[in-house]
Structure 1
């Protein structure tokens, strides 16, 4: 991460960004579209589809009032416990350098007072975020060769260098694991469920499924375990063998977990130690396991282009309904 901008300039930038981000997308806001992958070329995007399904109500909602917020979250043991993850609508887990993991929390229906620790972006994030309309991306920085692609991408970059007044350093952890974000310094309010243009469907569970008490997903140097709690009706998360508990004492427990099998290949980027940055391909098709209500469903997934959401379908071709509440999507190597 580069040197922080002066506080006065950061405050003006934060005010301008917050005002811009609360503008309605329904009045015909047109975004510049950069590369979905590595090449930096522009591409137009069709308008967001409305109405959309609400993850909390399961029905239809009005068009989104503004952009949602995506935050890159540090996920190594030194960064835990984390803050604000329980307010996220979706949490994506991806493999990064050295076989470790990193999270991207997506907020549309609720903004926490604080979220973090915030860490750096990856090239795969640009493709994943294309499904949303100009999302705000909060991140601590990025590999210097990636920064021009982020600048060209159809998102609203909100790093500490650009919006310094939205960030602060906590005292509970050592740097670089102590950078936190005040989301209300970027967005004055949550845009609502219609901003979640993911293609996800919510509703009653399909028939079938395999009774499942626990499921573990392993990366070379990290692992996630999701254990069903019948009393809480949620999948309790553990990471690297330790229960995932937030700074407010809450156990992280999504209603639905998706283990999505994808291609994970080498990119042209490396970290400061020379480790290659994996590229997670989220456009394409493949298999996935969906965990909900104590059962596992084997499904197919498809995302034809970067501006689309991801369709999950059962063996009979019908949409796979997710349970109401938070969704975790863990990208696993196919």
Structure 2
């Protein structure tokens, strides 16, 4: 779990005070104890809550921004995904999907094309105090997200940083400048890491001994298809060690390249209203437990995901009941509907 800057400073001050007291306890004439120096204290490097990698300069001053991005041909091209720390694909009405792109370590000046928010986003934002950026949303959605305590930057309510893509028409032409939003935003507290990350010192495993029980051969795959509805699916391929969407709406050079791709099957409920085409709007319940399939390199691991509360870290356990940690790096989550969603390996 990341250690805050406040904790790091407190640790340094505590060490300094302890050394000073030790020097005084010997009668006052002992000059052999050197003056404490912060440069001799071990530097505590924080870990990014979104990708598990070290942040040698500490956490950014900005909050985590979650941009809602169109995920159909109408929104092509998707812009700025290569700068995101984490991306989640979620179900919306009509069997379509939308992306929730998390930006923290890098805030590009052009991200899009921005669309509206859903109540599912409450559970997506909560673990890292994410602030949602959207073109708008239904009144019911807006009220529920505000009631949950989540900060919203909505163009419908006059949020700064929005502009138009002259090559497109509404509602598919909205772009956002995250630098502009950051200048108006107040950082929010981050409860904990988004996932349980593999610690740096746990990556090297000891070689098995002759008496060790042989491990079960893991599943492998170099391609996969995740289906959300009869007409909506995402194709994936392992290329150069990264999981890439092969039917993406982003240019290949600037698409999000995942070190780990995770399929999480979750319960879908009725959000309580319909869109303009009278399609019921779904809400994905982002808490509880469910089946998960974790893709890292060519290895595919069956698991169970767990998230007791909306603001909890997402954890995983294997079929043997043992915890599974996620390798640090960029993660793409496919939040597929339980029952109707599928994943096929190739």
Kept after mapping to 2: 8 A contact 1:217/1:225: yes
TM-score (structure 2 length as normaliser): 0.73
* RMSD (CA atoms): 3.2
- Superposed CA deviations along residues 262-321 of structure 1, whole A, max 9, x for unmatched, are 111222121111100111011001110000111211111111111212111223444423
Name structure 2 gaps, 5 residues minimum. Answer: 8-44, 206-214, 339-346
CA distance in 2 between partners of 1:126 and 1:205 (Å): 37
Q: From the superposition, tell whether residues 146 and 244 of structure 1 become closer, same or farther in structure 2 (CA, over 3 Å).
A: closer
User: Which protein, 1 or 2, shows the higher relative CO under an 8 Å CA cutoff with sep ≥ 6?
Assistant: 1
**Higher helix proportion (structure 1 or 2):** 2
Counterpart of 1:245 (choices 250, 253, 266) is 250
How far apart, in 1, do the equivalents of 2:266 and 2:159 lie?
Answer: 35
Which ranges in structure 1 are unaligned for 5 or more consecutive residues? 1-23, 28-49
Q: Please, what TM-score do these two structures have when normalized by structure 1? A: 0.75
* 1:235 pairs with one of 228, 239, 243: 243
Corresponding residue to 1:157 among 152, 161, 166 = 152
CA contact (8 A) 1:116 1:181 kept: yes
Per-residue CA distance 1:134-182 (angstroms, 9 max, x = gap): x221001111222222332222210113444310001122221110000
- Give 1:130's aligned residue: 126
Residue aligning to 2:25: none
Partner of 1:295: 299
- What displacement does 1:112 show? 1.6
- Deviation for aligned residue 1:243: 4.4
Query: Residue 308 of structure 2 corresponds to which residue in structure 1?
Result: 304
State the alpha-carbon separation in 1 of the partners of residues 283 and 204 from structure 2: 32
Q: 70-79 or 183-192: which moved more?
A: 183-192
2:282 pairs, out of 278, 283, 291, with 278
Matches of 1:76 and 1:299, distance apart in 2: 30
Cα displacement string for residues 237-284 of structure 1 (whole angstroms, at most 9, x for unaligned residues): 12xxx34433x8434321110000111122212111110011101100
SS in 1 for 2:309: coil
TM superposition shift of 1:119: 0.3
In structure 2, distance between residues paired with 1:200 and 1:69: 21
Q: Paired residues, what number?
A: 282
